[in-house]
Structure 1
Amino acid sequence: MRSLLLDTVTWDLALDTSGSIAVASNPYAMAQDAACAIRTYQGEVYYNTADGVPYRDQILGQQVPLSLVRAYLEAAALTVPGVVQAQAFFTRFEGRRLSGQVQITDRTGALSAASF
């Protein structure tokens, strides 16, 4: 699987050394796609409104345990084709901003991680 490489800070397209849009390959591409799934609000995907994390309905504006948030994020990561295991780790929870890392295992057993 290949995916457009996203800058880890801005989460925008990145360029390669020749100035072209950079492409990520597995296993990182799969981890990056899992991080994208974690960043997706449920209802945001036009062609499948069931995709994404129920941030608006179940998380934002409520006092939910971080274990429940982790379960939602890991479930979203598992929707990426080829991902068989996902673990979400929180690195910062400051104000209203949550940051972390998702670590995935693919069908071949390869491990990879991406920040969200």
Structure 2
Amino acid sequence: MRSLLLDTVAWDLCQDTAGNIAVASNPYAMAQDAATAIRTWQGDVYYDTRAGIPYRDQILGQQVPLSLVRSYLETEALTVPGVVQARAFFTRFEGRHLSGQVQITDRAGAVSAASF
């Protein structure tokens, strides 16, 4: 599996050394796709409004336990083809900013991680 490589800070396309759009390969491509799925708000994917995390309806503006948020994140990461296990780790939770890392395991048993 291949995916367009995203800059880890801006979460935007980046270039390779030749000036072309950079491409990521497995296992990192799967981890990056899982992190992208975690960043997706439910209802924002035009072709499948069920995809994504229900941030607006069930998380933001409410005091929900981090274990529930972790469950949503890991469940969404498992929607990426080839991912058989996902674990979310939080590295920062200040005010309204939550960041962390998702670690995924693919069918071959390879473990990879990407930040969200």
TM-score, normalised to structure 2, is: 0.99
Cα separation, 1, equivalents of 2:95 and 2:76: 23
User: Residues of 2 paired with 1:69 and 1:85: CA distance?
Assistant: 17
Query: Shift of residue 17 of structure 1?
Result: 0.4
Partner of 1:57, secondary structure, is helix
For the residue of structure 2 that corresponds to 1:12, the secondary structure is coil
Aligned runs of 1:48-63 on 2, under 5 Å?
A: 48-63=48-63
- Count of aligned pairs between the two proteins: 116
User: CA offset at residue 109 of structure 1?
Assistant: 0.4
Which position in structure 1 is the counterpart of 2:3? 3
Distance in 2 of aligned mates of 1:57 and 1:78: 21
Q: Which runs of 4+ in 1 moved over 6 A?
A: none
Counterpart position of 2:74: 74
Alignment of 1:8-87 (within 5 A): 8-87=8-87
Percent identical = 84
Give me the CA root mean square deviation. 0.4
CA deviations over 1:29-76 (Å, ceiling 9, x no partner): 000000000000000000000000000111000000000000000000
Q: Counterpart amino acid of 1:59?
A: I
SS in 1 for 2:87: strand
Cα deviation for residue 80 of structure 1 reads 0.2
Equivalent AA in structure 2 for residue 73 of structure 1:
L
TM-score, length basis structure 1:
0.99
* Ranges in structure 2 where 5+ consecutive residues have no aligned partner: none
Superposed displacement of residue 90, structure 1: 0.2
CA–CA distance in 2 between the matches of 1:111 and 1:14? 24
Q: Secondary structure at the match of 2:91?
A: strand
